Structure 1
Amino acid sequence: MKFTKLSKPNQITFKTFFLTTSLFLITLLFTGCDNNKSSYTITQDTNVSKVPGLSKYVTQEEVDSFSFRYWDIDDEREYRDENKTLTTLRHYLKQKDTNKVLNFLKEHNLSVDTKFLHRLTPLMYSSFYNDLNTSKELIKLGANIRAKDRYKLSPLAYAVENNSTLTAKLLLDSGVKFDELTQIQYYLKPPFYRSMKNIIVDGDDITIIYKGKWNTDEHSKDETEPFEYIVVCNFVELARIVLESGYVPKRLEYPETIQGISEGHSRNLDIEFSVFSRLDDIPNHEQMLDLLLKYNVYGGELTKEQLKMAYDRCYKWYYDKCFIDDNMKCDVYKFYEEEFALEYNHKMFRAYCSTKNSTFKDIKEFFRYANEDVKYTNISSFFSASPKSVYIKDKNMTLEELRIHQYKNTKDEKTKKHIETYFLKNYKNINKSTNKE
């Protein structure tokens, strides 16, 4: 029984241009050197049309895109050239000190919409930091609730990207429509099954440590569709606030495959172009699914045919004769990963598709299966690719150490050969080290 199974196709939801841009800049550098031309220094504020010759190598769109993706409102390194007055005010905004903010504006005769770096306003900062009191006072003083900075980001955009629920609700209650948001940064990194960092196996319990824990993405913060971002990050309260405001999610521009549904279709299913298609890769997806169904969000329907097809896939994938025949022994190599795979396959089979001619009764039952299936697929892939990062608690060793230990101590030659062929093929000195012992 194979442990490493087919992984989910590459995600295409968020347009990632970092590699392309880096290669472009390298090309630009070497082109300038090879032709003995003046070098170009490109910054966030570069106007391509005003730099002679630069348009041959880069467009204004590319400069603006790069600037947008690497802008971070909360990174002090962005403010090296900021004057002392604005720095003081910005720090008061970050500290959520309403009195100091209001007094500072008054004492320095500053407008409530005074412009910071890149045309940011005080309300953008207070919205980002989820400072309800300061935001209320700024709005009372006439702050522009729809102001845009040089990146076309508004106070609501900054509130949404940082999951600032209090200020997001305030802005929506003050008259801003969620439809007005055309783009936001993919600012926070949520946990995904496809972004595992470490795994701890403790008997039947599997603890996954993710690379993303809603921490700031220090690299490219790509442009993303606002409500899709909320769902992908599993910001349930923020999603509730947005839907309660009357927002109706629309068909997304980019489709996403869904494990168990997309196979065999023409890739034009409504659910693939909806936020529902993001739910199979999200830990603890249930509350978000319930909320989307409650508001009848676009794409939340599956036909009986689709549910049956998904069920049949589950049955075919996880079925083994030994699971239904008590007299049949499940025959696998006596090796940790093979036994783990057998146990997990049996668990999936019993939990979701143990009856041959049955079906999933509804979309909630389907997503319970699909989410667990994606989780298992990624655990499987992680075991295979990162054994040093998997800790087996009852063995007190990593999966890599356990592989070597079992290889060295097994007396069954077939098992030994299997381990060497499929799990230790990159360990060139394994036989030498074994012989020395």
Structure 2
Amino acid sequence: MTETVRQPGAAPGATPGPTSGPTPGPAPGGRFTAPQATALYVGAVLGTGVITLPALAADAAGPASLVAWAALVLLSVPLASAFAALGARHPDAGGVSTYARLAFGERAAAVVGWCFYLAVPPGAAAAALFGGAYAAEALGGGDATALGTAAALMAAVTAANAAGLRVTGRIQLALGGLLVTLLVVAVALSLPHARLDNLQPFAPHGWAAVGPAATMLVWSFAGWEAITHLAAELRRPARDLPRATGAAVVIVGVLYLSVAFAVIAVLGASAADTEAPLGELMAAGLGGDARHLAAVAAVLLTFGTMNAYYAAAAKLGAALGRDGAAPAWLARGSTVGEVPRRSLALVSGLALLALGAVTAADIGVRPLVLLTTGSFVTVYAVGVAAALRLLPRRSKGHAAACVALVAIAALLAMSGVYLLWPLAVSGAALLYLGLRKGSRSGVSTMGR
């Protein structure tokens, strides 16, 4: 049975045509609970951004970077709400790719699916190296320790996801509580050392610097779409997904703003010079040995982020194979409860290749961060546009999508040259579809 939707450009009263691929159902009856989904959501968004970007943003805009943090927290509300409404209404492993297909057709689905899928490996390499940098600072060993830690993180995340989503969810639930506790402790112990003088001058590089800082900080807020790929695994998506989303937005927003404020108010001008701001905060409150605790927190945060994204990307790859937007051998594992091991293996392999390339070229992780955020902004743009078409008008989800679309347009404008990567990926996706259709047409002609 297929769902019918009005095709793009069709008149309102026209007879709708069938969509290709499976129809996302309203109640797939998975095994994830709302607390587990909240933990995965928090892990997807609250990760390496909180251990690195407060310092990078402070370097770009000074204390005025707090304005960029606040703006992105506010943007998270309508953005997460729109994706939650879509996930609750159309729970499917394809996530944003499925919404694009229902709203705009097969080509849009392939483009957004490929953009998300191929953003995860370079993003995972950058994230793993962020966590590795903390380990190297605490343990010594320099680049060798950082690289070894990064590779170990990738192996551990792959193993956790290969064991199945039930194991992944339990691990994420435990990590979520531990990580929130560590961040709260770091901020609480360091705030007595805060000085309001460190907030002056508030905009040392001018107010125009807030824009570039906000573009960089998109990395910290990428993840609001990730949980949609796991919506079908929830016991009651229509009830549990909005609850998980609301809880995640509050937790992430409070923690990000608290850590960002503490980094600037406690560390002052030195915040821009450190690669491990969370370690410096803990050292301010507990002494120098706290850097080891910060390294543990950084590695766990990195694991949580990578865990959520590997799970989402693996499911998405299987869905793309199922729907014909990627090779069919990826399709195994797309149904509820199955482990998409082939797709997981591909994601893991590409991430390792990205890690090796970054290490060999010695180019640093900043370009990878901006390339990845360019891809996610593109995914957000297509996803929000799909929400405007699929969600009922005058609903809360539709209103949230309207607000989010305006903000996403501004982020696209600020992404600049880093949109070339999602543009290239989009071209590759469309080329694959063209070749696939040409091959099918040739086979059909020969059979006549």
Q: TM-score, normalised by structure 1?
A: 0.23
> Greater CA radius of gyration, 1 or 2?
1
Between Structure 1 and Structure 2, which shows a larger proportion of strand residues?
1
Q: Which structure shows the bigger proportion of residues in helix conformation?
A: 2
